[in-house]
Amino acid sequence: MKYAIFVVLALLLAAIAVANPFILEPAGFLAFVKRAAPLVILAAGQYFVIVSGEFDLSVGSLVTVEVVVAARLIDGNEAATWPVLALLIALGLLVGLVNGVVTALLRVPSFITTLGMMLILSGAVFLWTGGAPRGALSQSFRVFGRDTLWAVLITLAVGAAAVLLTRATYGRTLIATGDNERAAALSGVRVARARILAFVISGLAAAIAGIMLGGFAGVSAQVGQGLEFSAITAVVLGGVALGGGRGSVVAAMGGALTLEAMFTLLNLYGISGALEYTVQGVIIVAAVAAGAVQLPRLFITPRKGDAHAS
Amino acid sequence: MSTIDVSLEVAVLSMRRIGKSFLGVRVLSDVDLDAQAGEVHAVVGENGAGKSTLMKILAGVHAPDSGTISIAGSPVTFRHPLDAQRAGVAIIYQELTLLPERSVAENVFLGREPLRRGLVDRAAMERETSRLLLELGESSFGARDLVGRLSVAQQQVVEIVKALSVDARIIVMDEPTASLAEHEVELLYDLVRRLRERGVAILYISHRMREIFDLSQQVTVLKDGVRVATRATAEVTQGELVSLMVGRELSHYYPPRAGPEETGEVLLSIRGCGNAKLRDIDLELRAGEITGVAGLQGSGRTELAKAVFGAEPFTHGEMTPLRPRSVREAIAAGIGLVTEDRKAEGLALRQSVGDNALLVARAVRRGAAARVRELLDRVRLAPPDPDREVRYLSGGNQQKVVLAKWMTVSPKVLIFDEPTRGVDVGAKAAIHELVRELAREGMAVLMISSELPELIGMSDRILVLREGRLVGELPAGSSEEAIMHLAAAEEAA
Amino acid sequence: MSEKVGGRLSLGFRPAQVVFLALLAVVAIGAIVGGGEFLTLETVVGIQQRSAALGIVAVGQTLAILAGSLDLSVAVLISLTSLVAAEIMQTGDVAGGIAAALAVSAVVGLVNGVVITKLKVHAFIATLGMTLVIKGVLDHLYDGPAGRVPDSFQHLGYDRIGPIPVSAMLWACVALACWFVLTRTRMGYQVYAVGGDVEVARLSGVRTDRVVIVTHVLCSLCAGIAGLLLASRLGAGAPTVGTDGGYDLESIAAVVLGGTALAGGKGGVGGTVGGVLLLAVLDSLFNLLEVDSFFKDVVRGVVIVAAVVIYVRRRKS
């Protein structure tokens, strides 16, 4: 049940293979993974935030910021690649830190915090570049998103790190926090710190996804548009509950792959661009409804009064 | 209206031969209960006697398995709380069911706002609310005040006004004074008398002897789901009442107590500590000893546990090894707390047994992962499967997981707040044995329980808490009467 | 009591009042900095014009949020209704165009409400799904602006009576209507109850599902009205007019800025109107100062988060 999303993914891949057997070949499959890589990485980051009971709406604009900043600073200069990469990572971490501190310590709902961050980021970056992205990426920068081997390796590394993190002490306490904040706090968990770190992870994931998308899709002001919703959708498709405490990061990344497979399939069958959104919307709501309808019955909590039988 | 008229009338409420089981466990057997207009009928009994279940049946929250309910002579069936409401039954729960962000009048008329030409008649709503407030002699707040700004006592008045506004003929008050300060209790007394004058029948659930004798005309005693007696309050003494309520057979065997030689050094000492809810707490916990704490609801039992554990810390006084200002400080000092409300405060229900058992160890970064299986065996979790989600476990097994959670960090002092609430009989014995075992291994145990047999069976000494103070200490094996007198009775004790 | 604690100006006031105070402050700053230039007829009209469409959507969004829900699908719905209206009005049938646009809105709101309450899908996902569905349909059917509205209908977007644009009056009417529903009808009272505590509302006999569904229908209707307004301004329908304007997230931001709690049960239309006006006045002030438009976004983000920080602090004290 936990990994039901992979059954869906397999079915979608099979359906793709019927029309286009290339995807069954290693090269074809890897190309598919490369295309999905940024979303998979964003979903992995978003997973940590959602499982702790919060949202991160700022990742889309953070991706745009990363790409635009990279292009302006590198401006075709190969030598600048590595310092800029370090700076981009630092930027992602910083944005996550601010999101986390405002949400966990100042207690602003994360929806608002990250919405504000979204406005601030997109405003600030274009303020800095004067309205339109300028400059160019270097070849050695573009390789991460464009070269299949690099893209797949990075995705695998991020995936492995995410899995290890969810199994580590931090991940377990974070999930427990999302499930029952009070019980976690009364067990000595530093709840605020755990949440802040979740936002930092999400920021880091957005930085990595931005670096890859810059290589893959090139520099534009729209590169990150809507990615926050795609990432949240992917995570939810993977069976991770909004509100926290439930779901696995592997399934969240599976949700991202499934979303990408769905796009591919819809393209293949000529429902290009346009109606694919419609189909996507219906599937997402249906998937969540299917999950929700059975949940409340399993999850029986006693009425308030019962705990105080006198 | 004269008393003769009232007694000649048909009882407003008549419950006959009410029976109810939960999961095969009989909670109520053939219970009868009548209430007359203008009368306060006290319902008393120990924890688990079945009072709450009986009242919830009356409120339409639970359906009875057998028996009938009649209101003013005609039989009724409640399928939903609203059915009961419409029939004129109102319950005032301990947790108030009000919207803090709305005004008094809006709360009183929630769901049935008066209309005038299709629109809500706010003026009428506020007028009617003010009238009822006035009738009850309540002038400390008005119909327009936000409920969230009122004290608990004032909110209780709002609940009562809400009940009156639907013309409730039967009002159930569930331990209404539990969360009230002393001067507020006097106000409640007045209120109850006024309700009587209005001809309302009041079912008054309480442990407090003084209230029962001050307010009620009739008293019904429940014990183990059976009605033991119904008497006119004037014809019964406090001593008789207590002995009717208690004297239950010990339901199971309790592990032997610690001998004096097993009681070791002082592991935790509290001197003159207090906070907003507690005053002048002096307490010493010794290795190997189980210290029981008794007290009525609202006496500060849970507050004491939370204060010692740093969750709602003491604000002044001395504590050694230290006075914790946070949960983490307490844990670092070797203090643990098994909370009263397991589901809300003890467990992450959708996580596995293993994750829950390791929660504390992970939070304070003390390695214990390797010991989890061993610990689950030790707490006799059946089956000792670390991968199951805890929400699927029985209450007893869940409590064992909570125990395992604390055992991973080997605390020196472990506080139990209602250790066996919602736990079946078999698991109860296992948990009792575990608690004793931990004490025998040198832990100091502070055990808070509202179940007197448990407290007496387990404790090496019993402290009694009343109104935020420790008012006395009783030796092991004291009688329930002795404890009740200290905890409940005031001048009469 | 709490009025005097802390000594900060905001402490004595309710969030909605804080917004209007901030609004006054910004206007004062504008008057001082810009002198006569700020309080010209032109700027005042501009502020009203700019805020009308967002204002209408935000008022609807207030209802959804007060009931403990939220609606992300308003932006695409605005686009959709602008197109529906313009396509039908092309045939000369203005009334039909309006009716069709409102009918489409009502259906969308109904579906949102039913999916949230009956299928128990989180409002975020349900309305995000609806967004995708509508976006797909729009992208499939349209490449760019389509339909035409007759000149008579364009009066709605451009005319003004004295210093007050018709669009602002429309906004005022919508706001008044919603305020009326919230404060004078049983439905309004129940919206607050459901948003405050669903369980308490249910125990008091409120049909909670129905309340949520009705608020979603009303919220969508407001989006539909905003779509009509934009169609009249553009003279046609446009498939991206809603999303380009960022009406989904901005309307939520304006509601929260106006002091309505994102969790529901607390707040009101008045605050939202203040929130929208504050955003618009800030905008004018920046135009006056010739501040870069991207800087405006930054300030807007900071203002929204800062406002909530203040409200949260207040609630604790």
Specify the pLDDT at position B247: 58
Whole-number Cα distances in Å, B395 to B340, B451, C289 = 12, 17, 66
CB distance from A36 to chain C under 8 Å? no
Q: Which residues of C touch B102 (CB under 8 A)?
A: 192-193, 196
Q: Which of A118, A276, A293 sits opposite C136 (nearest CB)?
A: A276
Q: pLDDT confidence of C169, banded at 50, 70, 90? A: very high
Around Cβ B65, how many Cβ atoms within 10 Å?
Answer: 15
Of residues B100 and A283, more confidence is placed in B100
Kindly determine whether residue A127 and residue C136, on different chains, have CB atoms separated by under 8 Å: no
Q: How far apart are CA A17 and CA C173, in angstroms?
A: 56
Cβ pairs bridging A and B (under 8 Å): 105
What SS3 state is found at B413? strand
Q: How far apart are CA B35 and CA B172, in angstroms?
A: 11
In the stretch 109-138 of chain A, residues with CB closer than 8 A to chain C read: 109, 111-113, 115-127, 131
What SS3 state is found at B82? helix
What SS3 state is found at B315? coil
Q: Which of B52, B95, B405 sits opposite A187 (nearest CB)?
A: B405
Q: How far apart are CA C312 and CA C317, in angstroms?
A: 9
For residue range B349-390, what is the model confidence (pLDDT) as tens digits? Answer: 999 999 999 999 999 887 667 788 888 988 888 888 888 889
Å from A153 to nearest chain C CA? 32
Burial class (CB in 10 A: 0-12, 13-18, 19+), B293: buried
User: Can you give the residue ranges of every domain in chain A?
Assistant: 4-15+31-298
Residue closest to B88 by CA, chosen among B113, B58, B61, B53: B58
Mean pLDDT over the full length of chain B: 86
Q: Is the pLDDT of residue B310 over 90?
A: yes
What SS3 state is found at B334? coil
Name the β-bridge partners of B44.
B221
Kindly determine whether residue A120 and residue C301, on different chains, have CB atoms separated by under 8 Å: yes
Å from C266 to nearest chain A CA? 15
For the CA atoms of A161, A162, A166, A169, the dihedral, rounded to the nearest 10 degrees, stands at: 40
Q: How far apart are CA C104 and CA C217, in angstroms?
A: 10
Specify the pLDDT at position C293: 77
The size of chain B, in residues, is 493
- Mean pLDDT, rounded, for B113-125: 91
Å from C305 to nearest chain A CA? 6
Q: Which of C184, C199, C266 sits opposite B120 (nearest CB)?
A: C184
Specify the pLDDT at position C288: 81
Which chains are within 8 Å of A by 3+ CB pairs? B, C
Specify the pLDDT at position C291: 80
CB distance from C149 to chain B under 8 Å? no
CB distance from C7 to chain B under 8 Å? no
Q: Which of A107, A279, A288 sits opposite C121 (nearest CB)?
A: A288
Determine the residue among C66, C179, C185, C186 to mutate to test chain B binding: the one whose Cβ has the most chain B Cβ atoms within 10 Å. Answer: C186
Q: Which two structure tokens, joined as six digits, stand for B337?
A: 């707390």
Distance, CA of B227 to chain centre: 21
Kindly determine whether residue A183 and residue B205, on different chains, have CB atoms separated by under 8 Å: no
Q: How far apart are CA A58 and CA A205, in angstroms?
A: 12
**C246 close to C69: Cβ distance less than 8 angstroms:** no
Q: Which residues of C touch A106 (CB under 8 A)?
A: 309, 312
In angstroms and rounded to an integer, the radius of gyration of the C-alpha atoms of chain A is 20
Kindly determine whether residue B362 and residue A179, on different chains, have CB atoms separated by under 8 Å: no
State what percent of residues in chain B have pLDDT above 70: 93
Q: pLDDT confidence of B417, banded at 50, 70, 90? A: very high
Kindly determine whether residue B47 and residue A188, on different chains, have CB atoms separated by under 8 Å: no
Determine the residue among C204, C314, C316 to mutate to test chain B binding: the one whose Cβ has the most chain B Cβ atoms within 10 Å. Answer: C204
Determine the residue type at B54.
L
- Mean pLDDT, rounded, for B83-99: 84
Q: Which of A116, A236, A296 sits opposite C301 (nearest CB)?
A: A116
Q: Is the pLDDT of residue C312 over 90?
A: no
Which chains are within 8 Å of C by 3+ CB pairs? A, B
Listed range (A172-181, A259-268, C173-182, C269-278) with the worst mean pLDDT? A259-268
Of residues B426 and C198, more confidence is placed in C198
Listed range (A288-302, C68-82, C168-182) with the worst mean pLDDT? A288-302
Q: Which two structure tokens, joined as six digits, stand for A173?
A: 């306490």
Sign of CA dihedral C177, C183, C184, C188: positive
DSSP state of A131: T
CB distance from B123 to chain C under 8 Å? no
Q: Is the pLDDT of residue C93 over 70?
A: yes
pTM of the full structure = 0.85
Q: Which residues of B touch A305 (CB under 8 A)?
A: 52, 56, 61, 93-95
Specify the pLDDT at position A114: 94
Q: Which residues of B touch C190 (CB under 8 A)?
A: 111
Kindly determine whether residue A278 and residue C263, on different chains, have CB atoms separated by under 8 Å: no
Kindly determine whether residue B422 and residue A246, on different chains, have CB atoms separated by under 8 Å: no
Kindly determine whether residue C192 and residue B99, on different chains, have CB atoms separated by under 8 Å: yes
Determine the residue type at A78.
E
Determine the residue among A61, A108, A283 to mutate to test chain C binding: the one whose Cβ has the most chain C Cβ atoms within 10 Å. Answer: A108
CB distance from C79 to chain A under 8 Å? no
For residue range B169-201, what is the model confidence (pLDDT) as tens digits? Answer: 999 998 887 767 667 778 888 888 888 888 899
Q: Which residues of B touch A188 (CB under 8 A)?
A: 327-328, 331, 360, 363-364
Chain C's closest residue to A288, CA to CA, is C121
Å from B413 to nearest chain A CA? 15
CB distance from B148 to chain C under 8 Å? no
Query: DSSP string covering chain C, please?
Result: -GGGSS--GGGGS-HHHHHHHHHHHHHHHHHHHHGGGTTSHHHHHHHHHHHHHHHHHHHHHHHHHHTT---STHHHHHHHHHHHHHHHHTTT-HHHHHHHHHHHHHHHHHHHHHHHHTS---HHHHHHHHHHHHHHHHHHH-SS-B----HHHHHHHH-EETTEEHHHHHHHHHHHHHHHHHHHSHHHHHHHHHHH-HHHHHHTT--HHHHHHHHHHHHHHHHHHHHHHHHHHHTSB-TTHHHHTTHHHHHHHHHHHTT--TTSSS--HHHHHHHHHHHHHHHHHHHHTT--HHHHHHHHHHHHHHHHHHHHHHHH-
Around Cβ B22, how many Cβ atoms within 10 Å?
Answer: 12
Å from C278 to nearest chain A CA? 16
Å from A209 to nearest chain B CA? 30
Q: Which of B56, B311, B362 sits opposite A172 (nearest CB)?
A: B362
- Mean pLDDT, rounded, for C223-230: 96
CB distance from C259 to chain B under 8 Å? no
Specify the pLDDT at position C220: 97
CB distance from C200 to chain A under 8 Å? no
Listed range (A100-109, B173-182, B410-419, C223-232) with the worst mean pLDDT? B173-182
Q: How far apart are CA C131 and CA C126, in angstroms?
A: 9
Specify the pLDDT at position A272: 62
Q: pLDDT confidence of B445, banded at 50, 70, 90? A: very high
Q: Which residues of C touch A289 (CB under 8 A)?
A: 115, 119-121
Residue closest to B365 by CA, chosen among A281, A85, A188, C173: A188
Å from C39 to nearest chain A CA? 27
Q: pLDDT confidence of B10, banded at 50, 70, 90? A: low
Of residues A93 and B79, more confidence is placed in A93
Chain C's closest residue to B99, CA to CA, is C196
Q: Which of B85, B97, B101 sits opposite C265 (nearest CB)?
A: B101
Per-residue pLDDT of chain A (310 residues; tens, 9 = 90+): 567 788 889 998 999 999 888 888 888 999 999 999 999 999 999 999 999 999 999 999 999 999 999 999 998 888 899 999 999 999 999 999 999 999 999 989 999 999 999 989 988 888 888 878 888 888 888 889 888 899 999 999 999 999 999 999 999 999 999 999 999 999 999 999 999 999 999 999 999 999 999 988 888 888 888 899 899 989 988 888 888 888 899 999 999 999 999 888 888 877 666 677 787 788 788 877 876 544 333 333 333 333 333 3
CB distance from A296 to chain C under 8 Å? yes
